[in-house]
Amino acid sequence: MFTGLVEARSPVRRTLEKGTGRRLSILRPEGFEVRAGDSVCVSGVCLTVAAEAATDLEFDLSAETLARTTLGDLGPGEEVNLERAMRLSDRLDGHLVTGHVDGRGRILAIEDSGDGGRRVSVEVDPGLERYLVEKGSIAVDGISLTVVSPRGRAFDVAVIPVTLEKTTLGRAKPGRAVNLEADLIGKWIERLVGSRD
């Protein structure tokens, strides 16, 4: 379980085809303490550290992960957002994020908001629009954000300067694909209410 508060931004070192999957190697950020077997949220995707060294962290991507997320599009030098799994004793400053991506989105537009931040518009895969609730939570590439104005299959988020600085959203451009995870509580409510029909 994660919070959606990104701890580090780091570049991909290399990718290696591995059967129907792939091995992803990321530069290990300074002070980013994890061991093999630990869970890490990589741009919104919960992955297990397959191998770790002083300079690199390696993750195995299954065919399912490659098909459902943007991680298969990554190449050397491209940056990812990283967050270590939360402890039960941690404060929950973001929202509950599982790292189980619900679908992809595409950045439609980015505008300066006049206060150092930006307003980012995102279009979601068909079917995900039912989770877009005004003032509801959504994870975009693992970043905990609040939906400002949902409209059909699109929504806006307000991104503050510190988030732009610490995450990949600060360098994002329109057209870029992003991983999306809808609010966990909303999905459970939908499941429970839907099961009564």
Triad 37, 40, 46: Cα angle to 5° = 100
pLDDT at position 196: 57
CATH level 3 topology of 8-84:
Elongation Factor Tu (Ef-tu); domain 3 (2.40.30)
103-194: same fold as 8-84? yes
pLDDT at position 86: 87
Domain ranges of the chain: 8-84, 103-194
**163: phi then psi, degrees, rounded to nearest 5:** -70, -40
- Listed as ranges, residues in the chain with pLDDT below 70 are 195-197
pLDDT at position 138: 95
State the Cα–Cα distance between residues 33 and 81, nearest whole angstrom.
Answer: 15
CATH level 3 topology of 103-194:
Elongation Factor Tu (Ef-tu); domain 3 (2.40.30)
